[in-house]
Chain A
């Protein structure tokens, strides 16, 4: 009853493909999450009461319920709404919507840290609100949010393991399939875990480097 990893080389390609899917879905969720997160952030801090409240409700929903539930809801709701999307797209959509809610909070923190006087100076100079956001606020917000962003990315990668539940053939699903064939669940899941760990360590390392590069001037 020892651990036998000899089957690994034969199944390695499948595992790598699964990891690739996990990275793909996570990557999309992280990138789109940044864009939508920034937008959501501006909605939440907007002076328009209606928009602000709607934004907060969205945040509350996606941060206050399990990602698994969100995945299931979105996966099963899409057909009902008439959208015919493959599981992969549903997975990306769910992870992105979830990521946006968390990221918006991170950016809001970054925004709060910027002295309001900078915005006033821009106003008096006649710089419009969008230009102020793009040229003055966002560059500063991005620099101060790199560590929480990296943490979030790690979470997103871990959350991606759940898309196996809606039939996406990611690393988890591949592992399950291999376990069913080789009857070596302990070994295969330990390997899968190690792969996730490695990806996350790389992410954290990238984060440290980015922080060093972008953390100047402020």
Chain B
């Protein structure tokens, strides 16, 4: 059965971050404005451990903004985001919420990894260099240890032979896999994917989705914003459909793709089906 967003809100007790038990990410009454434009409107959701959550919806529905709020790349205006029980980006000061220091924000999102649509690799470093930079710079590992972990994780994504390659010499799919490896190397508890395959040529999409499926099978908690409905249908535990900054429908993959309740979701999936043919029935 699908639930609509408001029902989820009444289940939780506002203000108590630990309700919901093992939720890795918990979002309450989230609002975000760009000027006068409300891009996120009353978002309430949780992500539990080992859960794979896919976020689908038309362009401009706020999906990316939502993800960016979770890592505080965008500062949210109202509501709360909890990462593993800790309030993100703000702290209580005299009964109000005050913007937290960059250091605390960093500490709070330490266990969150993110993969971007544009990969965002650093072009002047090799694949291994990209992957180990944070290990050396943040975790203060010695170079040798970092290189070991880096090689292992690059091997895991299938790029064992590309350790010393520069991003300019790698295909889009390979670059994105390096990006995934870079995030994985820090041993995150949850991985966020912001349209990871949207910037790739169609032939290269598969290799990235393969890596993501593997991660899901290994029990990684994942939130994936994607247009790849096949992937969502196959791998997601839960799917959220967003439109105009709101969660319109959410439920299990089976529910969403088979028994779409809201007309907007039906419309969205029909448009998608008209253009693609591999949505399982």
Contact = CB atoms under 8 A, between A and B. Distances in A.
Q: Do chains A and B touch in the complex (CB under 8 A)?
A: yes
Given A124-B109, A140-B122, A218-B123, 16 more contacts: A117-B118, A118-B122, A121-B116, A121-B182, A122-B134, A124-B71, A125-B138, A125-B182, A126-B109, A127-B133, A127-B134, A135-B133, A140-B124, A143-B124, A217-B166, A218-B124
B106 A115 contact: no
A194 interface: no
Interface in A26-81: none
Instruction: Point out which of A115, A121, A122, A126 has the most chain B C-beta atoms below 10 A from its C-beta.
Output: A121
B106 A218 contact: no
Nearest to A120: B73
Contacts of A128: 106, 137-138
Interface string B214-256: 0000000000000000000000000000000000000000000
A123 interface: yes
B110 interface: yes
A26 B108 CA distance: 49
A125 B124 CA distance: 18
Instruction: Point out which of A125, A127, A131, A135 has the most chain B C-beta atoms below 10 A from its C-beta.
Output: A125
A182 to B, nearest CB: 54
Given A135-B133, A217-B168, A125 B120 contact: no
A136 interface: yes
A125 B123 contact: no
B124 A118 contact: no
B138 A117 contact: no
Nearest to A129: B102
Contacts of B186: 125-126
B116 A117 contact: yes
Interface residues of A, number: 21
B168 A131 contact: no
Nearest to A119: B120
A20 interface: no
A126 B73 CA distance: 12
Contact of A126 (B121, B122, B134, B179): B134
A120 B120 contact: yes
Interface string B69-80: 001010000000
A135 B106 CA distance: 18
Interface string A170-202: 000000000000000000000000000000000
A109 interface: no
B137 A120 contact: no
Given A118-B122, A139-B124, A217-B124, A123 B138 contact: no
Contacts of A217: 123-124, 166, 168
Contacts of A118: 120-122
A126 B138 contact: yes
Nearest to A116: B120
A127 B179 CA distance: 15
28 contacts: A117-B119, A117-B120, A118-B120, A118-B121, A120-B73, A121-B116, A121-B120, A121-B122, A123-B106, A124-B109, A124-B112, A125-B182, A125-B183, A125-B186, A126-B186, A127-B134, A128-B137, A128-B138, A129-B102, A135-B133, A136-B122, A140-B122, A140-B123, A217-B123, A217-B124, A217-B166, A217-B168, A218-B123
A143 B119 CA distance: 21
A128 B139 CA distance: 11
A217 to B, nearest CB: 5
Interface string A86-130: 000000000000000000000000000001011011111111110
Contacts of A123: 73, 106
Contacts of B179: 121
B269 interface: no
A218 B182 contact: no
B196 interface: no
Nearest to A214: B124
B113 interface: yes
B53 interface: no
B114 interface: yes
Contact of A124 (B113, B118, B119, B122): B113
A118 B133 CA distance: 13
A131 B140 CA distance: 12
A126 to B, nearest CB: 4
A46 to B, nearest CB: 14
Contacts of B119: 117
Instruction: Point out which of B112, B118, B166, B168 has the most chain A C-beta atoms below 10 A from its C-beta.
Output: B118
B116 A120 contact: yes
B137 A135 contact: yes
